[in-house]
Homo-oligomer: A and B are copies of this chain.
Amino acid sequence: MTGASFIGYTRGSLAGPKSHAINPSTQEVMEPGYAAPSAEEVESAVQLAASAFPAYRKTSAAQRAEFLRSIAEEIEESADALAARGTAESGLPEARLRGETGRTVGQLRMFATMLDDGSWLDARIETAIPDRAPLPKADIRSMLRPLGPVVVFCASNFPLAFSVAGGDTASALAAGCPVIVKAHSSHPGTAELVAEAVIRAAQKCNMPNGVFSVLYGSGRDVGMTLVTHPEIKAVGFTGSRTGGRALMDAAAARPEPIPVYAEMSSINPVVMLPGVLGEKANALAEGFSQSLTMGVGQFCTNPGLVFVPEGSQQAFLNALEKHIKNAAPGVMLNAGICLAYRDATAATSRHQGVTQFASEVSTNQGQGSPMFFVCSAQTFLQSPALTHEMFGPASLIVIGSLDEITAAAKTLEGQLTASIFGTDDDLTQTPELLEIIERKAGRLIFNGYPTGVEVCSTMVHGGPYPSTSDGRSTSVGTMAVLRFTRAVAWQNCPQALLPDELKDSNPLKIPQMINGKRA
Contacts of A465 in B (CB 8 A): 256-257
Contacting residues of chain A (150-197) with chain B, CB-CB under 8 angstroms:
none
A435 near B: Cβ within 8 Å?
yes
A223 near B: Cβ within 8 Å?
no
Contacting residues of chain A (99-148) with chain B, CB-CB under 8 angstroms:
113, 117, 119, 124-126, 135, 137-138, 140-142, 145, 147-148
| Segment of A353-361, A400-408, A449-457 in the binding face | A449-457
Known contacts A137-B454, A489-B444: does B511 contact A518 (CB below 8 Å)?
Answer: yes
Complexed CA–CA distance, A236 and B147 (Å): 22
Contacts of A246 in B (CB 8 A): none
Decide if B460 touches A489 in the complex (CB within 8 Å).
Answer: yes
A9 near B: Cβ within 8 Å?
no
Contacts of A445 in B (CB 8 A): 491-492
Decide if A488 touches B443 in the complex (CB within 8 Å).
Answer: yes
Contacting residues of chain A (492-509) with chain B, CB-CB under 8 angstroms:
492-494, 496-497
A283 near B: Cβ within 8 Å?
no
Task: Looking at the assembled complex, report how far the CB atom of A264 sits from the nearest CB atom of chain B, in whole angstroms.
Answer: 12
Decide if A516 touches B117 in the complex (CB within 8 Å).
Answer: yes
Complexed CA–CA distance, A186 and B470 (Å): 34
Task: Looking at the assembled complex, report how far the CB atom of A397 sits from the nearest CB atom of chain B, in whole angstroms.
Answer: 22
A229 near B: Cβ within 8 Å?
no
- How many protomers of this protein does the assembly include? 2
Task: Looking at the assembled complex, report how far the CB atom of A497 sits from the nearest CB atom of chain B, in whole angstroms.
Answer: 6
Decide if A487 touches B460 in the complex (CB within 8 Å).
Answer: yes
| Segment of A69-77, A305-313, A367-375, A471-479 in the binding face | A471-479
- The chain B residue sitting closest to A469, CB to CB, is B257
Decide if B486 touches A472 in the complex (CB within 8 Å).
Answer: yes
Task: Looking at the assembled complex, report how far the CB atom of A117 sits from the nearest CB atom of chain B, in whole angstroms.
Answer: 7
Contacts of A489 in B (CB 8 A): 442-444, 458-460
A344 near B: Cβ within 8 Å?
no
Complexed CA–CA distance, A493 and B493 (Å): 46
A225 near B: Cβ within 8 Å?
no
Complexed CA–CA distance, A117 and B513 (Å): 13
Complexed CA–CA distance, A210 and B64 (Å): 48
Decide if A442 touches B248 in the complex (CB within 8 Å).
Answer: no
A485 near B: Cβ within 8 Å?
yes
- B249, B259, B459, B518: which contacts A472 (Cβ < 8 A)? B259
Task: Looking at the assembled complex, report how far the CB atom of A260 sits from the nearest CB atom of chain B, in whole angstroms.
Answer: 10
A412 near B: Cβ within 8 Å?
no
- B253, B444, B472: which contacts A491 (Cβ < 8 A)? B444
- The chain B residue sitting closest to A452, CB to CB, is B135
Contacting residues of chain A (20-35) with chain B, CB-CB under 8 angstroms:
none
Contacts of A438 in B (CB 8 A): 145, 488
Task: Looking at the assembled complex, report how far the CB atom of A122 sits from the nearest CB atom of chain B, in whole angstroms.
Answer: 8
A275 near B: Cβ within 8 Å?
no
Task: Looking at the assembled complex, report how far the CB atom of A507 sits from the nearest CB atom of chain B, in whole angstroms.
Answer: 18
Complexed CA–CA distance, A462 and B439 (Å): 28
Contacts of A1 in B (CB 8 A): none
Contacts of A493 in B (CB 8 A): 444, 446
Decide if A141 touches B446 in the complex (CB within 8 Å).
Answer: no
Decide if B446 touches A491 in the complex (CB within 8 Å).
Answer: yes
Contacts of A148 in B (CB 8 A): 439
A424 near B: Cβ within 8 Å?
yes
Task: Looking at the assembled complex, report how far the CB atom of A438 sits from the nearest CB atom of chain B, in whole angstroms.
Answer: 6
Contacts of A135 in B (CB 8 A): 452
Task: Looking at the assembled complex, report how far the CB atom of A460 sits from the nearest CB atom of chain B, in whole angstroms.
Answer: 4
Task: Looking at the assembled complex, report how far the CB atom of A7 sits from the nearest CB atom of chain B, in whole angstroms.
Answer: 24
A428 near B: Cβ within 8 Å?
yes
- B117, B424, B459, B511: which contacts A140 (Cβ < 8 A)? B459
Smallest CB-CB A-B distances: 4 pairs: A252-B252, A460-B489, A443-B489, A142-B458
Q: Which residues of A contact B (CB under 8 A)?
A: 54, 58, 113, 117, 119, 124-126, 135, 137-138, 140-142, 145, 147-148, 248-249, 252-253, 256-257, 259, 414, 424, 427-428, 434-435, 438-439, 441-448, 452, 454, 456-460, 462, 464-466, 469-474, 478-479, 485-494, 496-497, 511, 513, 515-516, 518
For the complex with contacts A117-B516, A256-B464, A442-B489, 4 further pairs of A-B residues with Cβ separation under 8 Å are A138-B448, A140-B458, A145-B438, A443-B489
28 contacts between A and B (CB under 8 A): A54-B435, A119-B518, A124-B457, A124-B458, A125-B458, A126-B454, A126-B457, A140-B454, A147-B472, A148-B439, A249-B253, A256-B464, A424-B494, A427-B494, A443-B490, A444-B489, A444-B490, A445-B491, A445-B492, A446-B491, A457-B513, A457-B516, A460-B488, A462-B486, A462-B487, A464-B486, A472-B487, A511-B518
